[in-house]
Amino acid sequence: MQDFKNKVAVITGAGSGFGREFARYGAAHGMKLVLADVQMDALETTRAEVAALGVEVITRRADVAQAADVEALASAAMDAFGVVHLVFNNAGVATGGLIWENSQRDWEWTLGVNLWGVIHGVRIFTPLMLAAAAKDPDYRGHIVNTASMAGLLTPPASGVYNVSKHAVVALSETMFHDLSLVTKQVHCSVLCPYFVPTGIHLSQRNRPDKLKNEAPPTASQLVAQAMAEKAVTSGKVTAEAVATMTFDAIRNEAFYIFSHPRALGLVQQRLEDLVAIRPPADPFADRPDVRLRLESALNPTQS
């Protein structure tokens, strides 16, 4: 897809981070936008900004963990524009802590948004795109699933998040193969950002009441939250830059999108460990001071 003008893009998580930047990029290139988020004030900020550029835009509140919300989003897009060309399954949340300390509610919330949100987006929008391709030989469609470098690595104290993002990578790779069997008009990509200032460390603000934990956070969860906030907010690659990379990938029909290619060295180490049938390498091998601080925080009586 080389020309984005007048193409229709559906973007979840459009109220902040990558979603807002996808919307900004799309608006700057004359796209028609269908924007969704669970936080309506943030979504309205994005809507007002892109509408000021003169593009057609509709918004819907959507909890992507809920199939009915994603189905309603697709219906709204089709009612408004009659076709969808780009889908960004982008909404995401984060949890942390030692994996056995995560509650069932932690798992349900994180997998609900990060994984089921992508599942719903793929199963609901792909048939619409394939139908459009069958009707029009000039139609081109593309789906971008937002995963993470945590979908290719297994950093400690973020197990629930890691699981959700590994699943998105596996889903996306399988989707790439499946699409290649049935069409040359619809493609997909998986976005694997590393530490980018997106505000994801603040995602607890939108956690549904029924999935909030009754118990206070554990020591490991507090440590993980502090580490995530520091890593995310200190990121040097911007969400705007990642949006540009993503649209470039769509133009080039590239599958993997990496915000930090240098981090692929860590992925290579993990793959070498797998092939050599040895335990995962120490993620703190070149940062022993970080390991010591983490161990001290998690074992205060032994420090």
Distance CA 118, CA 70 (A): 10
122 near 143, Cβ under 8 Å?
Answer: yes
Which DSSP category does 138 fall into?
T
Which residues, in sequence order, are CB contacts of 187 under 8 Å at separation 6+? 140, 141, 142, 143, 176, 179, 250, 253
161 in catalytic set? yes
Q: Which two tokens stand for residue 57?
A: 């835009």
**What H or E segment, with its residue span, contains residue 12?**
strand 8-12
DSSP string, 198-255: SSGGGGGGG--GGGS-SSPPPHHHHHHHHHHHHHHHT-SS-HHHHHHHHHHHHHHT-S
Taking every pair of C-alpha atoms in the chain, what is the biggest distance, in angstroms? 67
User: Residue 220, class by beta-carbon neighbours within 10 Å (0-12 exposed, 13-18 middle, 19+ buried)?
Assistant: buried
Cβ atoms 151, 192 nearer than 8 A: yes
The two tokens of residue 92 are 């995401």
Which of the following is catalytic: 25, 139, 161, 194? 161
Give the DSSP letter of residue 63.
-
Could you give the CA distance from residue 24 to residue 137 in angstroms, rounded to a whole number?
29
Catalytic residue annotation:
161
